[in-house]
Amino acid sequence: MSSKGTVVLVAVVAVFIAFMTAYSVYQAQLVASVAERPVAAQTLQPYTPVNVTINVQGADQQIQSVYSHTIGSIVMVSCITETTTVTFFGPQQSYEEVIGSGFFVNYGGNLYVVTNYHVVNGAVSVAVTLMNGSSYPASIVGTDPYSDLAVLHVNATLNVQPLQLANSNNLRIGETVMAVGSPYGLAGSLTVGEVSQLGRSIQESTVTGYPIADLIQTSAPINPGNSGGPLLDLNGDVVGVNTAIIAESQGIGFAIPSNIVARELPYLVKYGSYNLHPWLGVEIVGLDYFATQALHLPVSYGVEIASVVKGGPAAKAGLIGANSSVEYYGMQIPSGGDVIIAINGTPVTSTDALTSYMEANVLPGQTVVLTIVRNGQIMNVPVVVGARPPP
């Protein structure tokens, strides 16, 4: 998202504030201590070179073709946002212009623009600008803060070809992708990269306090103002919606998978919201090898339940949150909570793994089986998943 000079896009994993300060210190001290330890020499297997022929000219032509066929379906989204501040003299309103990106899709024979929620959040006026320079007023049809998605309707009759949503489940790491949008207000900008990883989670500075899960990580440069623009494959189909960069980083961007867009689009158009995000009612903290050793776990991975929401799905299933800590080389590690090591038989190796699995595969009302470690014993606990409370 771009806003005339200031853009804040933050990616953190926020869990269990009471224990995370100690745990962060533990991790920092751990890195320092490991860096000073000698590494034993290893015998490497002989390397056999593999000859790979890449047709660079052909790839360039394909990228150029995709760009020329899709650019007319991509827009710059401009918003006037209002902020109210309570002062000594009473409530004071301030306004600023926010710039993002979007693209046309078809639903029910009508054209809509898909963009990010954080682009239009707080907007009192919205407009879209086509790449030919024509601008039109737009209205917000539906929003989902949890997935950072929004759908707009352009208040004009347009002759625009909508983009197609690909099946993002078919994405592979290393696949070439293209990000198109309006970084810093520079409309129609193209960047190219690869799919770096799948199933990522980030915690952006939105109103929800929950991570945005099951994201595509890409090396295609995504800059402020790209938010809401399409991430395209080499067929010119949308595989994701560009949503965020990690502040002060290079080469790391994230996009919402197109399958999430396809799943939510009917709800956002018909009802104006999407309320089917799964919810366990827990706060979790990821455990590395040293933390699992400190807790004497029979596995070297997992996520510990830091706290359980009273009356939530996990509490009803009898799951337990951390209630103490253990000392490990002078560092305090939270303990006493159930450690989740699998969900429906799929290993939970990180907080990303759990949140992304839930977002991609589970709906409220369904039952999941969590494999946990409690008091050194491995057991399975069925949990009836709830719906995430409104933000």
Catalytic amino acids?
A: 118, 148, 227
Token reading at 178? 């293209």
Contacts of 279 (CB under 8 A, 6+ apart): 312, 313, 364, 385, 386, 387, 388, 389
| Residue pair 309/339 in contact by the 8 Å Cβ criterion | no
DSSP for residue 133 = S
In whole angstroms, what is the distance from residue 332 CA to residue 26 CA? 7
Q: Tell me the sheet residues that pair with 143.
A: 150
CA-wise closest residue to 360 among 145, 232, 148, 199: 199
DSSP for residue 11 = -
DSSP for 194-238? EEEEEEEEEB-SSSS-S-EEEEEEE-S---TT-TTPEEE-TTS-E
Exposure of 175 in the CB half-sphere (CA atoms within 13 A):
17
- Helix (H) / strand (E) element for 287: namely none
Token reading at 389? 């409370």
Query: What share of residues in the chain are helix, strand, coil (percent, to 5)?
Result: 20, 40, 40
Contacts of 21 (CB under 8 A, 6+ apart): none
| Cα torsion angle, 345, 346, 350, 356, sign | negative
- Helix (H) / strand (E) element for 31: namely helix 17-35
| Residue pair 218/254 in contact by the 8 Å Cβ criterion | yes
Burial (Cβ within 10 Å: 0-12, 13-18, ≥19) of residue 284 = buried
